[in-house]
Chain A
Amino acid sequence: MIRFLITVIRRDVLLAARRRGDWLTAQFFFVMVVSMFPLGIGPEPTMLRLIGPGVVWVAALLACLLSLGRLFADDFRDGSLEQMLLSPYPNSLLALGKALAHWVINGIPLLLIAPVLGIQFGLPAEALLILVLSLAIGTPILSLLGGIGAALTLGLRGGGVLITLLILPLYVPVLIFGAGAVEGAMSGTGSEAHLSLLGAFLVMSLLVAPWISSLALKISVE
């Protein structure tokens, strides 16, 4: 079971490494969107510090959505999704593996870039730490929930827009608690409550999302 999960993740990482162009698009998009805000709003430090956490989080959501469209679509087109669904392991394990691979490929780079972008907004060191921590807990949720949307919109025309409409509402709590944690750290009210709620949300999506994704996959493939 665990071996299958690791094989699925390794497979997707290998494929992403062979197609670096696709992979870099989402990362560059993240950097670009975040960098546009200081340019557009002006170099007012208090203002930038105020909007910083929210901007980074919203850009992370959008970058995640950008790469989600391809989560199952490529495998669906070349038939390897069918073959993986016919592997002798539960299909929810496949969905979990694909979502975790998406996080490894697209989520972890966001974590590493985020502190650098946070400096652009003049966030203090403590807030940067909380920003990375909240992204570390929050981005796997984005991948797991996004997997549901990617599976549901598989093979549909205009799936890219549809996935945005389906999944963004589900991302709202992640955005509120993620950005809230960083703001809490800056205003001195503390961020433990926000991070705990984010953690609870992660546990819930780990348990439920792969199962729903696998059901959606079965319907989409049929």
Chain B
Amino acid sequence: MLFANDLACERGERLLFKNLGFELGEGEALLVRGGNGHGKTSLLRILCGLSQPAAGEVRWRGQPIASEHEQYCREMAYVGHVNGIKDDLTPLENLRLAAALDGRDLDLPVAVAALEQVGLSRCLDFPARVLSFGQRRRVALAGLMTAGALLWILDEPLTGLDVHGVAMVEKLIRDHVVAGGMAIMTTHQPLALDGVSAKSISVGD
């Protein structure tokens, strides 16, 4: 499904990694490992099409992702370092707006259910500005759940989450992958993904 071949990434004059390749099929997860500044985030941004690799290519269903922008973006969801949440809108408005921008209809009960599942049932009507960092992260994760994407690309999904939050994300990823989805993520914390076929690659050694 997702195939990366011979990727290289440069930042300024510095080569972060080269000759990086992997293949990911349905029902598989990929953990990206590496220290700070080794290029994990750069790799994820290349994989979702926000950056161009210095060499190599990424293919989705056999096609380069650059030429299949629309199809790829429909099937892929990305949660980056920053959450992509508008501070002036409520979590509910944020979710429905994100869905509308993706060309999806998100019914109110579905959005409310997703926010309740990530533990935000008490904050539905507050502007996101008053939420804590972890709560905003949870809004982004609720957006991920409602996106209905096949491929999840997650950059440090556990940042700012408490113990329950971590367990919730682990369950979320497990359920998604067991149901045939795909997930690529970076994390510095141990991630319990029992019963999931997880691959791992290291960048920048």
Report A's interface with B, CB cutoff 8 A.
3-4, 7-8, 11, 14-15, 18-19, 77-80, 82-90, 221-222
Q: Is the CB of A4 within 8 A of B101?
A: yes
Query: CB < 8 Å: which of B49, B52, B101 contacts A11?
Result: B101
Q: Is the CB of B78 within 8 A of A19?
A: no
Q: Is the CB of B70 within 8 A of A89?
A: yes
Report B's interface with A, CB cutoff 8 A.
45, 48-52, 69-71, 73-74, 76, 78, 80-89, 93, 97-98, 100-103, 127
Query: CB < 8 Å: which of A3, A8, A79 contacts B82?
Result: A79
Bound CA span A89–B102, Å? 8
**Interface residues of B, dominant DSSP:** loop
Q: Is the CB of B76 within 8 A of A86?
A: yes
Q: Is the CB of A86 within 8 A of B89?
A: no
Please give the distance in Å from B68's CB to the nearest CB on chain A: 10
Query: CB < 8 Å: which of B45, B84, B89, B102 contacts A88?
Result: B102
Bound CA span A8–B102, Å? 11
Please give the distance in Å from A9's CB to the nearest CB on chain B: 12
Bound CA span A4–B102, Å? 8
Measured between beta carbons, the chain B residues less than 8 angstroms from A83 are 78, 84, 98, 101
Q: Is the CB of B51 within 8 A of A87?
A: no
Q: Is the CB of B89 within 8 A of A7?
A: no
Q: Is the CB of B101 within 8 A of A79?
A: no
Closest to A18 in B: B88
Q: Is the CB of B50 within 8 A of A86?
A: yes
